[in-house]
Structure 1
Amino acid sequence: MKPYLIAEPALRRLELTITRRLDGLLQGEHLGLVPGPGSEPAESRPYQPGDDVRRMDWNVTARTNEPHVRELVADRELEMWALLDVTASMDFGTAVLEKRELALSALAAVGFLTQRTGNRIGTHLLHGGGVRTLPARTGRPHLMALLQAAFALPRTPPGVAEPLLGVAAEQLARVVRRRGLVVVVSDYLDAPETWEPPLRRLAARHQVLAVEVVDPRELTLPDVGILTLIDPETGRRREVATGSARLRRRYAEAAAGQRDAIARALRRAGAAHLRLRTDRDWVRDLVQHVMRQRRLAALAPSPMSPARGGGTPGTGGDVA
């Protein structure tokens, strides 16, 4: 059967799940996935403690001998780009979903909410064959075609060399010209030093949401006797005696350290961090993330009243 014939009913069910649950749990026309004041330059105002120094208006500062920052206003026509990791390490799952399926669901959720108000959506698909770019366009037909393309990507055989996440992020930075929202969906298992600098450069210009996809067996090792482990990206095999409590403890400690290192690298890069697990209700986790970001945006200083909280919607808070 042709891939699109398989993908179409699955994507329709996914769309129904997302729109039903998110419409019921999130009220309002615009959905904020990351906090932010906007992207389009507006008037200048005196600098206030806590303002982002990257928004300093040096011309006004030089004329007045007083630090000024350039206000940003909401750009209602958002351009959203996604970098979707579907490399071999994502073809793994021991719970309700595989990591690849959860990643595609996260992309679909952001896409369905974004296209509803006519915003443009483009995608970089990172897989064993390289990086495939789908240009940013508007409309549901374009979004469904984009999701079908991601759905139809073949699995990468073990041992096939694949591009690094950092390389794909560098390519994305060269493609995305207009300020907007960038969503990076991956398990972030590459060494953080390979992808942190490209993400930091993206975050200097765009609002960046990093969606980390995790399976519970990547965090703890079950006691199931002799277990054969296969590295999906290198094809290497190793037999592990999981009956050892010491081994399971060391595995859990190493896994926790790895996830902490990923979280720190994402924080240093300036990206909003959303962790989704294959054994949890990922829609509810997405909603809780949105609610937290809305609270953060509400605490941000208002352009009209810098000393008071209130915030304004912007590209960081206007994905709907």
Structure 2
Amino acid sequence: MKALDWLTTLHSNGVELGIAELLYYQSKLPAFANKRKKIPRTVQAGTSLSKIRGRGMEFDEVRQYQPGDDIRAIDWRVTARTGQPHTKLYREEKERPVFVLTDFSPSQYFGSQLLFKSVQSAHLAAALAWLAQKRGDRVGGIVANVQSHRELKPMARQRGVLHYLHSLVDLHQQGLADWRQGQSGNHSQVLTEILQRVDRLARPGSQLLLISDFYDLNENTAERLRVLAKHYPIEAFWIIDPFEFELPHAVGLDPLAVTDGKRQRRIIAGDKQQQQRYKNYAAQRQQHVIQQLNQAGIPLHQVNSGLALEQQWREVSR
């Protein structure tokens, strides 16, 4: 499918974000599942949910004691009140809380090909949220831009996903408006704030899915990630744009104007020395991000904003 046809199918222009293009991924789950079957399964960290009764994490009910019940589970209050021994029943927790963490820093509002990185981040967040909901997990998380954030406690079934998707749209469009007006502010705090807040919001057994372009990955945020990784299973998704790794091919030495909305520089894309310096800088940054995430023991997936998500799902879901 051609890029323009794909965008039309999603009701998207690649820059702004609407709820329809996020609902689209619910219908893509079977296709994603088929692609994922081709990938060897990995060990799943954290707790999972079933109706099996036993000594689990979640209280189920109290009933009269029966021979063979674990005496450690006797409910002494009910036993004293009724005069008959009663035991507590538990069930293993399977509805694992999944926190999708989406970073809408100003650097995300950029795209040289198919989508803005911010839009691809939202698409990925939607796909991951729908997949978690289909597994029976409870979906919540944090969405943040420079101006504001939303903390969403995990909820079961479609309610949690829809709540999260509407927050994605609202905060993305708010961040886009600020970016267009040159009111981006100090974006270096967005990723740090997300990590601070999820540490207070999550509880043992939660899974964290972090979506960012990691332009703000400094020693402070790297240390916070290392601390979080000791308590929760985390997967990181690095949103990249092709332009960030290589200058566009050009013939001649005519300068190209490049701006971030505030500053403007001119680059000569046809200058081979400048191309090489640009690639070297990109490689150093890439190595920095990979090294920091590896030191924290966090799996890292690269997601290209210049390609449709389903074209790269096998690599994303490894």
What is the TM-score with the length of structure 1 in the denominator?
A: 0.70
Aligned-partner Cα distance in 1 for 2:30–2:44: 27
SS of structure 2 residue aligned to 1:242 = coil
Q: Does 1:101 align with 2:111?
A: no
Equivalent pair of 1:111/1:143 in contact (CA under 8 Å): yes
Equivalent pair of 1:192/1:265 in contact (CA under 8 Å): no
Equivalent pair of 1:7/1:152 in contact (CA under 8 Å): no
Aligned-partner Cα distance in 1 for 2:46–2:217: 31
Taking only the aligned residue pairs, the percentage that are identical comes to: 21
- Of 116, 137, 142 in structure 2, the residue corresponding to residue 119 of structure 1 is 137
SS of structure 1 residue aligned to 2:112 = coil
Q: Which residue of 1 aligns with 2:260?
A: 231
Q: Which residue of 2 aligns with 1:206?
A: 232
Q: How does 1:180-219 map to 2 (within 5 A)?
A: 180-219=206-245
Q: Which residue of 1 aligns with 2:286?
A: 259
Q: Which residue of 1 aligns with 2:32?
A: 22
Q: Which runs of 4+ in 1 moved over 3 A?
A: 34-40
Output the amino acid matched with 1:269: A
- Alpha-carbon displacement from aligned partner over 1:130-158 (angstroms, at most 9, x marks no partner): 33212211121331231122123221323
Q: How does 1:232-247 map to 2 (within 5 A)?
A: 235-247=262-274
Q: Which residue of 2 aligns with 1:89?
A: 107
Q: 1:194 to 1:78 in 2, by over 3 A?
A: same
- Of 122, 128, 147 in structure 2, the residue corresponding to residue 110 of structure 1 is 128
Q: Does 1:160 align with 2:185?
A: yes
Structure 1 residue 82, shift from structure 2 partner = 1.5
Equivalent pair of 1:83/1:183 in contact (CA under 8 Å): yes
Structure 1 residue 177, shift from structure 2 partner = 1.7
Output the amino acid matched with 1:178: P
Output the amino acid matched with 1:9: A
What is the TM-score with the length of structure 2 in the denominator?
A: 0.71
Equivalent pair of 1:38/1:75 in contact (CA under 8 Å): no
Aligned-partner Cα distance in 2 for 1:179–1:24: 27
Aligned-partner Cα distance in 2 for 1:206–1:285: 26
Q: Does 1:13 align with 2:13?
A: no
Aligned-partner Cα distance in 1 for 2:158–2:136: 9
Aligned-partner Cα distance in 2 for 1:75–1:102: 32
- Alpha-carbon displacement from aligned partner over 1:186-242 (angstroms, at most 9, x marks no partner): 00011431321111111101110000000000001124532222235xx22222232
Output the amino acid matched with 2:34: G
For structure 2, the 5+ residue unaligned runs are 1-16, 49-54, 56-91
SS of structure 1 residue aligned to 2:284 = helix
Q: 1:190 to 1:282 in 2, by over 3 A?
A: same
SS of structure 2 residue aligned to 1:179 = coil
Higher relative contact order (CA 8 A, sep 6+): 1
Q: Which residue of 2 aligns with 1:279?
A: 306
Equivalent pair of 1:274/1:286 in contact (CA under 8 Å): no
Q: 1:164 to 1:86 in 2, by over 3 A?
A: closer
Structure 1 residue 245, shift from structure 2 partner = 1.1
Aligned-partner Cα distance in 2 for 1:134–1:185: 16
Structure 1 residue 172, shift from structure 2 partner = 1.2
For structure 1, the 5+ residue unaligned runs are 1-5, 43-73, 293-320
Q: 1:270 to 1:75 in 2, by over 3 A?
A: farther
Structure 1 residue 281, shift from structure 2 partner = 4.7
SS of structure 1 residue aligned to 2:34 = helix
Aligned-partner Cα distance in 2 for 1:99–1:83: 15
Equivalent pair of 2:100/2:141 in contact (CA under 8 Å): yes
Aligned-partner Cα distance in 2 for 1:266–1:35: 19
Aligned-partner Cα distance in 2 for 1:117–1:262: 30
Equivalent pair of 1:126/1:168 in contact (CA under 8 Å): yes
Task: Tell me the number of residue pairs that the alignment of Structure 1 and Structure 2 aligns.
Answer: 248
Aligned-partner Cα distance in 2 for 1:25–1:164: 33
Equivalent pair of 1:199/1:269 in contact (CA under 8 Å): yes
Output the amino acid matched with 2:123: S
- Alpha-carbon displacement from aligned partner over 1:244-290 (angstroms, at most 9, x marks no partner): 21011100111011011101101111111111112335335332454
